[in-house]
Amino acid sequence: MKKIVTLLSVLLIAATPFAAQATPDDDLKAFRAYFTKKFPDVPVNDFINGVYAVDPASREQWEQFEEFPSYQIAIDNGEEKFNKKFANGKSYADCFPNYKKGIKQNYPYFDTDKGEVVTLEGAINKCRTDNGEKPLKWQKGEITEIGAYLAYLSRGHKINVKVPNDAKAIAAYNRGKKHFYSKRGQLNMACADCHYYYSGSRIRADILSPALGHTSGFPVYRNKWAGMGTLHRRYGGCNKQVRAKPFKPQSDEYKALEYFETYMGNGLEINGPSQRK
């Protein structure tokens, strides 16, 4: 019986998209190969446009929105708030000295000294609290405007997230990978069910977007929200849709998921902020 169980375990591991022993680089190559094979007519970098890369009708509508993008006001507001001085006379520029050259492509990163994943939103709020200011709310509002401005300055830069040779960093990456493929909620669905296995398929009136390049366009203006939102706001909404209790924004769970998903987009260009349905 023990031998049978062991054999079944081996077969199950082999059947998953990425074996547990695979390195992040192995995962990245396999992830990209899967989507380029599934959507052979889509240029690799066009995956940053989500569903608009794989559905011509949706793309036509999206291109019309892009003529006068709803996120433009967020960029303008974000620039103003980014340059506004804190009470102590400093500003965000003191925390992000290279912001004009583009910095979003390097987030999230793993801080080996603190042993944690650092997201751009986390860095924005740390900048505030380090300078005696109150932190911003995580999912919408001012933090999305500042994020939109920084994303805009980073457009065209290629995502360059690293997983250092550090046990805690690798554990965080694998935690995000596990979350992506794990079933949850009353509907017993994983992120991968919608955005990997059935990407490009219809779910009611909507088409499921490919996961490749998912994080490149955030923060996003969603028509459904009638406003801007962060990636973690979207994660929470997805969990609710499968009737699972969402994790808190900037929880270790969502930060790990963002770490994994963004790493899977390495080499693709930043396209934020963006507009989605």
Which residues have a catalytic role annotated?
Answer: 238
Residues counted in the chain: 277
Q: How far apart are CA 228 and CA 260, in angstroms?
A: 23
Q: Residue 172 in 3-state DSSP?
A: helix
Among the listed residues 277, 161, 139, the one whose alpha carbon sits nearest the alpha carbon of residue 216:
161
CA atoms within 13 A on the CB side of 193: 14
Peptide bond into 219 cis (omega under 30): yes
CB atoms within 10 A of CB 201: 10
Per the CB < 8 A criterion, the answer to whether 34 and 47 are in contact is: no
Q: How far apart are CA 40 and CA 232, in angstroms?
A: 30
Secondary element (H or E) of residue 275: strand 274-276
Q: How far apart are CA 156 and CA 153, in angstroms?
A: 9
Q: How far apart are CA 65 and CA 225, in angstroms?
A: 15
> What one-character-per-residue DSSP string does 195-231 give?
IIITTT-EETTEEPPPSTTGGGG-SEEETTTTEEE-H
